[in-house]
């Protein structure tokens, strides 16, 4: 089966350069710097550092600033579109953190005010705005988030899982990022000077940008999205590999994915943050890949570094370069560093551009490169990719311990909720690994090590896919508390680095030396399902294995504010890990995300039922269901399940797994591991389903359902 080219049907951008394509183009052509002293929140000490901020944004405190930025960009894209997108993929690093910071300073203890803190709240807001009933996914890979979101969208389209996808990135300025980058000594007080011999750092910025990508042929697309490449340095939590090995791998993969050679690239939109190490590493990567580099430049001296928005804003600029014939200048650079094997474009020039390579690199060594081209370069590609992943190793952690202890406890009719003691967790990991990290990355490292250790004859995983509902709460809380208690005079660079959602996956990549894709999803109670979807969409058919993780930590202060499902049952946390690839031989079982819908419509159960195969599916297979019902979603979950049972027409053995493993966002990752364990053992313990043991035949299926705000189905069976 052939897949049509992926067109950029429309684009929207809200950045320090301006609003929309025309204002952005005008600012680029004028070589205008849009960086100035911080204005959007006040400081207790010192002169404001230079930042890139969006002017004249609606000042309403609700919703948070990031949500308002995203809404404005989305409306630009969706204006005049005849139908909603099939899916949304949004990159973000901090969500509604700016509002959270204000609430914490006011000692606000009501959870109602914190409902827009999580990254899922952003993409759900946009999905509601455009009436999208398909997957609404959040990617959080630090400063490459926007580019990685677009790469995931590209592959959703190529594999036929969608026809129209809205993809991009957003972040607002916040105290966390403003003081965090300053604590790392990565901010240039004179503004951002990418590639300059005297560069001293970046300028933190904000913004939002989105592309409407489609496989439907349209008359006047802005460009075609030809390819994407993802990699991980697996080298250091913040510093790039000094030779730019990960950057080169991402660029090379993107160019090959586009069916091009390096000499086919007309212009490179550099990551170009203005930090000495990052610019040098990127320059070395380019020198290693390109015998004769094409024209290139960085726009971050004009925009500042918009974090998750940067890759999406620069994707829009890449489309402008192709559709309007321009190569932006490197604003802020007055004397290019002679250590580079190239000279960047200093001012914007008018010239035809047929192909653009756009780079985005982030903390944790997360690298994403995109290739855009004109219509002459559109490609028709094969679209087949097996959705099933083969599971070869599993691990979980609950309040009762690892998989063996957890499963034994559940078989005896006990519950495994709660939090595994910190001291016991630390004892299970080498001291050198955990010296500077806190609870969530420790959980992730333990799960990854355990899942890999129980594989037989398998190579080390190349890729990491992780889902986390809330990210590293301990590091985020400690950073903000120290900042406030010191009157904004002191902040912890270690806590800042650890606060990004993809920090645990980055630690896992360094442990496993996994240098392929490294993608963190943050979708609230559906975070693990989003990670599974990313894995089955991005993992190649051959040659790569991946570590698939879902984990969250409980935090005494933060969790009750953020997670509305926390109640009388108390705090719980943990997660699950699966070693996966496409090799079915000797696999414990196969798994896939069979359905992901949202929107609260009455027909959600009907759509899930149809996606599984309707009545025939339940006649052919003996099915056991593990149901996830978040405590805060009882009112939504009840009617969904009632309708689904009505469609099935007969009762099924069912387990409400949160009753056993506790209420936390990534509980579905534990349920997935338990499903795999039951299939390997050939039975589901009666204690889980309130009756006798259920023996699993070869044709049996275990479904792990997620209910509530979304309706999802993960399917497991023995190959």
In angstroms, the CA 310 to CA 312 distance is: 5
Do 601 and 633 belong together in one domain?
Answer: yes
H or E, element range at 714: strand 710-717
With a cut of 50, which residues of the chain have pLDDT below it?
1
Q: Is residue 455 part of a domain?
A: yes
CB atoms closer than 10 angstroms to residue 41 = 14
In angstroms, the CA 677 to CA 318 distance is: 47
Q: Is residue 373 part of a domain?
A: no
pTM: 0.97
Report the pLDDT value the prediction gives residue 3, as an integer from 0 to 100: 65
Residue found by looking up tokens 């590609």 in the block: 381
Report the pLDDT value the prediction gives residue 379, as an integer from 0 to 100: 74
Q: Retrieve residue 548's tokens.
A: 């698939």
Q: Is residue 419 part of a domain?
A: yes
Collapse the DSSP code of 711 into the 3-class scheme (helix H, G, I; strand E, B; otherwise coil) and give the result.
strand
| Closest by CA position to 81, among listed 218, 175, 276, 195 | 218
Q: Is residue 441 part of a domain?
A: yes
Number of separate helices (H) and strands (E) present in the chain: 25, 30
The residue segments making up the domain with residue 630 are: 597-717
Do 424 and 358 belong together in one domain?
Answer: no
| Closest by CA position to 440, among listed 394, 472, 395 | 472
Report the pLDDT value the prediction gives residue 361, as an integer from 0 to 100: 97
DSSP string, 57-71: ----SSS-HHHHHHH
Last residue of a domain, one of 575, 590, 605: 590
Q: Retrieve residue 536's tokens.
A: 């089955």
> Per residue in 255-269, pLDDT tens?
999 999 999 999 999
Do 506 and 611 belong together in one domain?
Answer: no
Q: Is residue 384 part of a domain?
A: no
Q: Which long-range contacts (CB under 8 A, 24 or more apart) does 343-350 make?
A: 344/194, 344/195, 344/270, 344/272, 344/296, 344/297, 344/298, 345/295, 345/296, 345/297, 347/31, 348/28, 348/29, 348/30, 348/31, 349/295, 350/325, 350/326
- Greatest alpha-carbon pair distance for the chain in Å reads 76
Residue 107, C-beta contacts closer than 8 angstroms, at least 6 positions apart? none
CA 415 from centroid of its chain's CA atoms: 31
Do 684 and 610 belong together in one domain?
Answer: yes
Last residue of a domain, one of 532, 561, 590: 590
| Spatial contact of 213 and 8, defined as CB atoms under 8 Å apart | yes
Q: Is residue 199 part of a domain?
A: yes
Rg of the Cα trace of the chain?
24
Do 569 and 616 belong together in one domain?
Answer: no
| Closest by CA position to 50, among listed 300, 308, 317 | 300
| Spatial contact of 501 and 94, defined as CB atoms under 8 Å apart | no
Do 112 and 222 belong together in one domain?
Answer: yes
In angstroms, the CA 164 to CA 151 distance is: 14
Q: Is residue 372 part of a domain?
A: no
The structural domain count of the chain equals 3
Collapse the DSSP code of 121 into the 3-class scheme (helix H, G, I; strand E, B; otherwise coil) and give the result.
helix
Do 578 and 630 belong together in one domain?
Answer: no
CA 102 from centroid of its chain's CA atoms: 25
Bridge partners of 521, per DSSP, are 139, 467
Do 284 and 422 belong together in one domain?
Answer: no
CATH number at residue 651: 3.40.47.10
Do 559 and 634 belong together in one domain?
Answer: no
Last residue of a domain, one of 546, 564, 590: 590
Do 698 and 551 belong together in one domain?
Answer: no
Q: Is residue 302 part of a domain?
A: yes
Do 628 and 502 belong together in one domain?
Answer: no
Mind telling me the catalytic residues?
A: 143, 271, 305
Report the pLDDT value the prediction gives residue 384, as an integer from 0 to 100: 58
Q: Retrieve residue 656's tokens.
A: 């409400």
Residue found by looking up tokens 């959270």 in the block: 100
Do 436 and 545 belong together in one domain?
Answer: yes
DSSP string, 440-458: HHHHHHHHHHHHHHT-SS-
């Amino acid at each position: 089966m052939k897949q049509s080219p992926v067109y950029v049907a429309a684009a929207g951008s809200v950045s320090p350069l301006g609003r929309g394509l025309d204002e952005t183009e005008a600012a680029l052509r004028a070589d205008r710097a849009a960086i100035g002293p911080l204005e959007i929140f006040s400081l207790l000490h010192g002169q404001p550092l230079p930042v890139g901020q969006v002017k004249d944004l609606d000042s309403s405190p609700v919703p948070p600033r990031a949500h308002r930025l995203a809404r404005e960009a989305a409306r630009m894209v969706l204006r005049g579109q005849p139908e909603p997108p099939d899916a949304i993929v949004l990159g973000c690093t901090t969500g509604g953190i700016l509002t959270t910071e204000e609430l914490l300073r006011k000692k606000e203890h009501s959870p109602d005010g914190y409902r827009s803190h999580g990254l899922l709240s952003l993409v759900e807001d946009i999905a509601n705005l455009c009436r999208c009933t398909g997957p609404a996914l959040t990617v959080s890979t630090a400063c490459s988030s926007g580019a990685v979101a677009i790469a995931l969208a590209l592959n959703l389209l190529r594999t036929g899982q969608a026809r129209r996808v809205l993809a991009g990135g957003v972040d607002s300025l916040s105290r966390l990022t403003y003081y965090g980058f300053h604590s790392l000594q990565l901010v240039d007080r004179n503004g951002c000077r990418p590639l300059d011999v005297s560069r001293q750092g970046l300028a933190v910025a904000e913004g939002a940008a989105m592309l409407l990508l489609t496989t439907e042929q349209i008359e006047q697309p802005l460009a075609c999205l030809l390819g994407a490449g993802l990699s991980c340095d697996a080298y250091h939590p913040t510093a790039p590999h000094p030779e730019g090995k990960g950057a080169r791998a991402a660029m090379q993969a993107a160019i090959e994915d586009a069916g091009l050679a390096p000499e086919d690239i007309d212009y490179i939109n550099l990551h170009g943050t203005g930090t000495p190490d990052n610019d040098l590493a990127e320059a070395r990567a380019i020198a290693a890949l390109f015998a004769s580099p094409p024209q290139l430049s960085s726009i971050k001296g004009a925009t500042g570094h918009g974090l998750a928005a940067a890759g999406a804003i620069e994707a829009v600029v890449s489309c402008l370069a192709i559709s309007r014939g321009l190569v932006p200048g490197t604003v802020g650079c007055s004397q290019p560093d002679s250590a580079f094997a190239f000279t960047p474009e200093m001012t914007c020039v008018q010239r035809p551009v047929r192909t653009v390579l756009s780079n985005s690199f982030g903390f944790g060594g997360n690298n994403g490169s995109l290739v855009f081209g004109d219509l002459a370069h559109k490609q028709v590609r094969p679209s087949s990719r097996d959705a099933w992943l083969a599971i070869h190793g599993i691990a979980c952690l609950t309040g009762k311990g690892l998989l063996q202890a957890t499963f034994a406890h559940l078989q005896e009719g006990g519950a495994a909720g709660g939090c595994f003691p910190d001291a016991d967790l630390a004892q299970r990991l080498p001291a050198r690994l955990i010296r500077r990290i806190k609870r969530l990355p420790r959980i992730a490292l333990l799960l990854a090590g355990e899942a890999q250790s129980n594989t037989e004859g398998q190579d080390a995983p190349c890729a990491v896919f992780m889902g986390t509902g809330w990210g590293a709460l301990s590091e985020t809380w400690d950073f903000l508390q120290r900042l406030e208690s010191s009157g904004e005079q002191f902040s912890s660079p270690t806590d800042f680095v650890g606060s990004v959602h993809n920090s645990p996956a980055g630690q896992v990549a360094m442990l496993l030396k996994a240098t392929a894709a490294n993608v963190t999803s943050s979708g609230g109670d559906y975070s693990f399902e989003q990670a599974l979807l990313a894995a089955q969409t991005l993992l190649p058919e051959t040659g790569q294995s991946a570590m698939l993780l879902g984990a969250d930590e409980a935090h005494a202060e933060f969790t009750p504010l953020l997670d509305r499902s926390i109640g009388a049952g108390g705090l719980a946390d943990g997660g699950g890990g699966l070693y996966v690839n496409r090799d079915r031989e000797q696999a414990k079982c196969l798994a896939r995300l069979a359905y992901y819908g949202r929107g609260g419509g009455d027909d959600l159960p009907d759509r899930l039922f149809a996606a599984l195969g309707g009545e025939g599916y339940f006649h052919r297979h003996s099915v056991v269901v593990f149901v996830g019902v978040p405590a805060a979603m009882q009112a939504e979950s009840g009617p969904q399940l009632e309708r689904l049972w009505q469609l099935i027409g007969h009762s099924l053995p069912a387990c409400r797994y949160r009753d056993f493993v506790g209420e936390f966002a990534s509980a579905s990752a534990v349920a997935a591991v338990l499903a795999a364990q039951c299939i390997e053992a050939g039975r589901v313990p009666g204690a889980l389903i309130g009756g006798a043991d259920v023996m699993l035949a070869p044709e049996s299926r275990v479904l792990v359902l997620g209910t509530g705000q979304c309706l999802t189905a993960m399917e497991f069976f023995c190959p």
